Amino acid sequence: MVELKPDQYRGIWVYLEHRNGAIFKGSIQLIGEGGRIAKELGTELSGVLLGHGIRDLAQEAIEYGVETVILGEHDVLKEYSPNAYCLALAKLVKRRKPEVVLFSASKNGRALAGRLHAEIETGLAADCTAFEVTDEGLLAMIRPAFGGRSLAHILCKEHRPQMASARPNVFAIPARDPSRRGRVSRARLRLSPSDIDTEIVAFEEFPDVQEVKLEDSAIVVAGGYGMRGPENFRILRDLARELGGAVAASRKAADSGWVPKEIQVGQTGKTVRPRLYFAVGISGAVQHLAGMQESDVIVAVNKDPRAPIFEIADYGIVGDLFQIVPKMIEELRAMKHDGGEAPSPATIRT
Amino acid sequence: MGLKIIVCIKQVPKAQELRIDPKTNTLKRAGVESVINPPDRNALEMALRLVERHGGKTVVVSMGPPFFDASLHEAIGMGIDEGFLLTDRALGGSDTVPTAYALSKTVEKVGDYDLILCGEETTDSSTGHVGPGMAGHLRIPQITYVSKVGLKDGWVEATRTLEYGLETRRGRTPALLTVNFGCNTPREPTLLGKIRAKRGGVIKIWNAADVGADYSKIGLRNSPTVVSKMETVVLPERKGIILDNGQRDAVSKLLGMLADEGVLRVG
Ligand SMILES: Cc1cc2nc3c(=O)[nH]c(=O)nc-3n(C[C@H](O)[C@H](O)[C@H](O)COP(=O)(O)OP(=O)(O)OC[C@H]3O[C@@H](n4cnc5c(N)ncnc54)[C@H](O)[C@@H]3O)c2cc1C
C-alpha cells in the first residue's frame, strides 16, 4: 500500500470536468461543497483541470470559489482518455498529497475515479449525496444504499486521499464572483502518446428537446415501458402541458429509444423532487424510486394492482393508462372551460 | 485461434423481491433469492454474440462465497464455455480495491484474453468501480457504459452512453468494457447447457493463493473504506389512496383530490 501517514496529506481537491470550453455543472456544484468542507477542515480548496488549451477555464473555476487551480496541460490530454487522465491524476496526487479528492459522479467521472482508486490504492465512495466532517477530522462520505432506504456513511481512515464522487444536482451552484482572485499552479506532466488508451471515433449528441428543465419543474409526468412505444408519449406531453409540467421516463422507456436519455429518472438518471410526480405505466423498480421517492405527492397509473409503484403512491388509479390519461386531459381541459382557474404550474419549491 | 472473452459476474439479491418493511423502513432481505447481477447478464449475452460472430471461447469469472457457483452454472447454461470461482475466506469483506485487485489476478491467471466484460454496476452496491479498477491494475484500455461493440484486427470499437450523447471509442485489445443494463436481451439457459455445467472440469474453484493474490492486499482488513454507520431514511408517509378505473368517476375524483392537495391550482 501507499504511505500510511494521513496527516501528511493536506487540502481538498475537486476534479473539474469540462467540455467545449465550459466546466460541467456537476463539477461547479462541487466547488461549492468542496469549499465548505475545506473551510471546516481549515484547509484550502484546489481545482484540478486537465486538458490542452484550457487556460481560460482556470479563471472560471476561481470565480466560482476555487483558491488554487492545478492546471495540467499536455498534448496527450487534449481529448479525454481514461488511462492518460488517470496517470496524470495519480502523478499529481502522489506529488502534492491532497487529503480529499472529489469527482462529479458523471459517467466519465465515475469511471476515471474507479481506475484511479485502484492505481493509487485508496478508498472511493460512489455517487455521494452528502458529506460531513467527523470529530476526528475525517470526511464522512454519505450515499444512499438499499434503493435509497438507508444512507451509508463511508470513511476512509488510513489511506489517502479520501476520494468520492458526488451525484450531480444535489449541491447548489455557488455564486460566481468575477472579482475573485486565485492562484494558478501549472503542473508539469510527463506523459507519452502511448498513454492514450482509447480515442473517440464518433459522437452523436443528444438533441436538447426538453422545453421545461426536468430538475426545475414542479410537476413531472413520467412514462414507462407501459407506454408501449414512442408515439404514445404524445399523450404524456399533452398531460404535462395541461398541468404545466415536464415529461420524464423510466430507464426501460429511455433505453428503448422512445425518449431522450436525458429525461431518464432514477439511480442512473436524474433525481427529481417535484411537488407532483405522475408515474404512468411504470412498475416502480427500486432503481426508479431512487430518483423520485422524495417527491411531495406521487400519483401512479398502472394496470397491475400489485405493481410496487402503488406502495409509495399517495394516489393511484388501477387501470389502462390509454383510457385514464386521455380522460385526465379531457377533464383538465373541461375544468378550464368551465371558468375554473386554469391549472397553472405550482410554485417551485426552493 | 479465435477470441477469448472473459465475463466477470456477481451474484446479487433479486431486485423484484426487495420490498420495504414498513415497520422498520429497511429492506426485507430474509429469504430473498439471488440472481446474476442484471447488467452482467447483458455482458454475458454480448460475449456470446461476439464469439458467435468471430469464433472463439467465452469464460466466466466470479468472486464470492461458494454458493455463487449457482450463477456460474447459469452462465454455463447460457452457453459460456468455462467458469472460475474465486472463493476464499480471506476475501470476505473486501471493498472495491481488493476486489478489483483479486479479480485482476484471476483474469491474469485465466490468461490470453482479448476482452474482459463487466456489468456497468451491481444492483447491491452500485459503484461501477470494479471494472475500471481492474483495467487500471491490468494496464489495459477501458471503455465504460457500452451498448454496442465491434472487433477487428486487434482493435475494439464500442459505443457508450454519456449524459449528453453517444460516444464511440476505439482502443487496442486486450481491453476491458463495462456493459449497459438492457442493451440486449440475454438468452435463457438451456437444459443441455445446465447439464454441461454439472460436468466436472467446466467450473473450477480457485482460492487467493491459486491466482497469486497477495493475502496482505485482500479482505476486510485491507479495504480502505469502512461503513461507519447506516442511517435510516425516513421517507414521507404516503396516503395510499388507490382507485379502480372500474369506478366511473375515478379520474374526476383523483383530480379533485389533487386540487385539494394544492398541487393543481384548479378553481
Ligand atoms: C444498474 C441498473 C440501473 C438502473 N437504473 C435505472 C434508472 O435510473 N431509472 C429507471 O427507471 N430504471 C433503472 N433501472 C431499471 C429498473 O430496474 C427497471 O427495469 C425499470 O425501471 C423498469 O421500467 P418500467 O417501470 O418502465 O418498465 P416495467 O417494469 O416493464 O413496467 C411497466 C409497467 O407498465 C404497466 N403497464 C403496461 N401496460 C399498461 C397499460 N396499458 N396501462 C397501465 N399500465 C400498464 C405494467 O403493469 C408495468 O407495471 C436500472 C436497472 C439496473 C440493473
Q: What CATH code is carried by the domain that includes residue B102?
A: 3.40.50.620
A331:B15 CB<8 A: no
Q: Are residues B87 and B111 in the same domain?
A: yes
Give the max Cα distance, chain B.
74
Residues whose beta carbon lies within 6 Å of some atom of ligand 1: A 224-226, 250-253, 264-269, 281-283, 285, 287-288, 291, 301-304, 307, 320-322; B 38-39, 120-121, 123, 181
Q: Which of A140, A202, A324 sits opposite B228 (nearest CB)?
A: A140
CA-to-CA distance for B193 and A329, rounded, in angstroms?
52
Question: Is residue B74 included in any domain, yes or no?
Answer: yes
**Residue B256, SS3?**
helix
A343:B264 CB<8 A: yes
Q: B171: part of which helix (H) or strand (E)? A: strand B165-172
Backbone angles phi, psi at A336, to 5 degrees: -65, -45
B171 touches chain A (CB under 8 A): yes
CA of A223 to the centre of ligand 1 (A): 9
Residue of B nearest to A322 (CA): B245
Per-residue pLDDT of chain B (267 residues), as tens digits, is: 689 999 999 999 887 555 555 555 555 556 678 999 999 999 999 999 999 999 999 999 999 999 999 999 999 999 999 999 999 999 999 999 999 999 999 999 999 999 999 999 999 889 999 999 999 999 999 999 999 999 999 999 999 999 889 999 999 999 999 999 999 999 999 999 999 999 888 999 999 999 999 999 999 999 999 999 988 888 888 999 999 998 889 999 999 999 999 988 543
Which of chain B's residues have a Cβ under 8 Å away from the Cβ of A125?
225
Q: Are residues B262 and B207 in the same domain?
A: no
B144 touches chain A (CB under 8 A): yes
Whole-model pTM over 0.95: no
Q: Are residues B193 and B254 in the same domain?
A: no
For residue A350, what pLDDT is reported?
35
- Residue whose C-alpha cell is 491524476: A89
Question: Is residue B161 included in any domain, yes or no?
Answer: yes
Question: Is residue B228 included in any domain, yes or no?
Answer: no
- Residue whose C-alpha cell is 461543497: A33
**A230 upstream amide cis, omega within 30 of 0:** no
Distances in Å between the alpha carbon of B36 and those of A160, B13, B40? 33, 8, 7
Question: Is residue B229 included in any domain, yes or no?
Answer: no
CA of B43 to the centre of ligand 1 (A): 20
Which of A271, A282, A310, A318 for a ligand 1 pocket mutation test, highest count of atoms within 8 Å of Cβ?
A: A282
List, as ranges, residues 109-138 from B with C-beta within 8 Å of A. 120-121, 123, 125-137
Looking at the predicted structure, is the pLDDT value of residue A82 above 50? yes
Q: In which band, very low, low, confident or very high, does the pLDDT at A348 lie, cut at 50, 70 and 90?
A: very low
Total domains in the fold of chain B: 2
Q: In angstroms, how far is CA B6 from the centroid of its own chain?
A: 14
Question: Is residue B239 included in any domain, yes or no?
Answer: yes
**Residue A287, SS3?**
helix
CA of A251 to the centre of ligand 1 (A): 7
A124:B171 CB<8 A: no
Q: Are residues B182 and B247 in the same domain?
A: no
Residue B60: beta bridge partners?
B7, B83
CA of A323 to the centre of ligand 1 (A): 20
Can you say whether residue B37 is alpha, beta or left, with left for phi > 0 and alpha for psi between -120 and 50 degrees? beta
B128:A110 CB<8 A: yes
Q: Are residues B124 and B147 in the same domain?
A: yes
Q: Are residues B156 and B248 in the same domain?
A: no
Question: Is residue B227 included in any domain, yes or no?
Answer: no
Question: Is residue B64 included in any domain, yes or no?
Answer: yes
Q: Are residues B248 and B197 in the same domain?
A: no
Q: Are residues B81 and B26 in the same domain?
A: yes
Q: Are residues B162 and B205 in the same domain?
A: yes
What are chain A's domains?
A: 7-195 (3.40.50.620), 214-343 (3.40.50.1220)
Q: Provide CB contacts within 8 A for B200, sequence distance 6+.
A: none
Contact criterion met (CB below 8 Å) for B75 and B45: no
Distances in Å between the alpha carbon of A174 and those of A14, B51, B259? 14, 50, 36
Contact criterion met (CB below 8 Å) for B165 and A205: yes
- Nearest CA to A42 among A137, A136, A134, A128? A137
Which of B40, B126, B181, B251 for a ligand 1 pocket mutation test, highest count of atoms within 8 Å of Cβ?
A: B181
Q: Are residues B51 and B74 in the same domain?
A: yes
Question: Is residue B230 included in any domain, yes or no?
Answer: no
Q: Are residues B262 and B194 in the same domain?
A: no
β-strand pairing of B175-179 with A315-318: unpaired
Q: Are residues B195 and B248 in the same domain?
A: no
CA-to-CA distance for A304 and A312, rounded, in angstroms?
15
Which of A236, A292, A302 for a ligand 1 pocket mutation test, highest count of atoms within 8 Å of Cβ?
A: A302
Domain extent, residue B264, equals: 235-267
Contact criterion met (CB below 8 Å) for A239 and A249: no
Backbone angles phi, psi at B195, to 5 degrees: -65, -40
What's the angle, vertex CA A53, arms to CA A49 and CA A59, rounded to 5? 55
CA-to-CA distance for A10 and A38, rounded, in angstroms?
10
Whose alpha carbon is nearest atom 52 of ligand 1?
B181
